[in-house]
């Protein structure tokens, strides 16, 4: 197997895990993941990323605070949320949502079931860890862009070590709660969570995979 084959396998087998075992990832494995992910590219080598990783009681504390906030507070994120979804973006978003609902047995019109599944975001799908990804506030969109590369590197490194991941924007929609629980400084933008642990292969939410756009929709070579 070539290096390219290995990379392709990691890219195509990685998925957003929505059902985890409760066993923790050893600290040395977490460090291995970050040791590799830190080689992600960044603008002028700024390397703006920082992770706050929870485990044990800290995960429980954050989870409880987020679940409560999701039912009692308006969301508030450090970054502007999308103005909207249209065209192919809207269609892909809807398709992903219905695939998830079908996998876990939520039918159309079942508002209670869809609410219950949405709340799993704030329970972090039962994972033992979440990593809050932040960037320097003064770096704005450039820092966020760099952190996107770091996020992908983290997920691939985790996949190579048998650790499942899911990037969560929903969690970052309650930035004040995260900031309070984890003492995140005001000069850091809370971008997202990377929730991780060992996959529960029997969880129905892990039984579907999303499709990818055709090359013709992505690539335009000119000249």
pLDDT at 108 exceeding the cut of 90:
no
**CA of 158: how far to CAs of 35, 135, 155, 163, 188, in Å?**
11, 21, 5, 5, 24
Q: Assess whether pLDDT exceeds 90 at residue 106.
A: yes
Q: What is the CATH number of the domain that holds 139?
A: 3.40.109.10
- 215 in any annotated domain: no
**Residue 184 within any structural domain of the chain:** yes
The answer, yes or no, to whether residue 73 has pLDDT greater than 90, is no
Q: Is the pLDDT of residue 148 over 90?
A: yes
Residue 105 maps to a domain: no
Q: Check residue 61 and give its pLDDT.
A: 98
Q: Is residue 218 part of a domain?
A: no
- Average pLDDT rounded to a whole number, residues 156-180: 97
Question: Please, which pLDDT band fits residue 126 given cuts at 50, 70 and 90?
Answer: very high
Encoded tokens for 172 = 């970052």
Number of domains the chain is built from: 1
Average pLDDT over residues 182-196: 98
Q: What is the mean pLDDT of residues 6-30?
A: 97
pLDDT band at 94, cuts 50/70/90?
very high
- Does the residue 58 lie in any domain? yes
DSSP string, 132-201: EEEEEGGGHHHHHHHHHHHHHHHHHHHHHTT-EEEEEHHHHTBHHHHHHHHT--TTEEEEEEEEEE-B-T
Give me the domain span that covers residue 151.
Answer: 14-81+123-209
Residue 13: band (very low, low, confident or very high) from pLDDT cuts 50, 70, 90 = very high
């Amino acid at each position: 197997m070539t290096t390219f084959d290995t990379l392709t396998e990691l890219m195509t087998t990685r998925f957003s895990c929505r059902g985890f075992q409760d066993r923790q990832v050893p600290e040395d494995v977490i460090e291995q993941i970050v040791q590799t992910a830190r080689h992600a590219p960044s603008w002028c080598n700024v390397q703006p990323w920082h992770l706050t990783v929870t485990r044990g009681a800290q995960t429980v504390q954050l989870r409880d605070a987020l679940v409560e906030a999701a039912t009692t507070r308006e969301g508030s994120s450090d970054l502007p949320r999308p103005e909207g979804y249209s065209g192919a973006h809207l269609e892909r978003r809807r398709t992903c949502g219905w695939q998830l609902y079908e996998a876990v047995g939520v039918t159309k019109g079942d508002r209670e079931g869809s609410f219950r599944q949405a709340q799993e975001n704030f329970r972090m799908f039962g994972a033992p860890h979440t990593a809050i990804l932040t960037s320097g506030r003064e770096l704005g969109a450039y820092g966020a862009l760099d952190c996107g590369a770091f996020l992908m590197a983290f997920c691939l490194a985790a996949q190579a070590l048998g650790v499942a991941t899911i990037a969560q924007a929903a969690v970052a929609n309650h930035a004040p709660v995260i900031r309070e629980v984890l003492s995140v400084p005001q000069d850091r933008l809370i971008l997202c969570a990377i929730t991780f642990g060992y996959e529960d292969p029997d969880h129905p939410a892990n039984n579907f995979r999303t499709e990818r756009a055709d090359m013709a929709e992505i690539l335009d070579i000119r000249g």
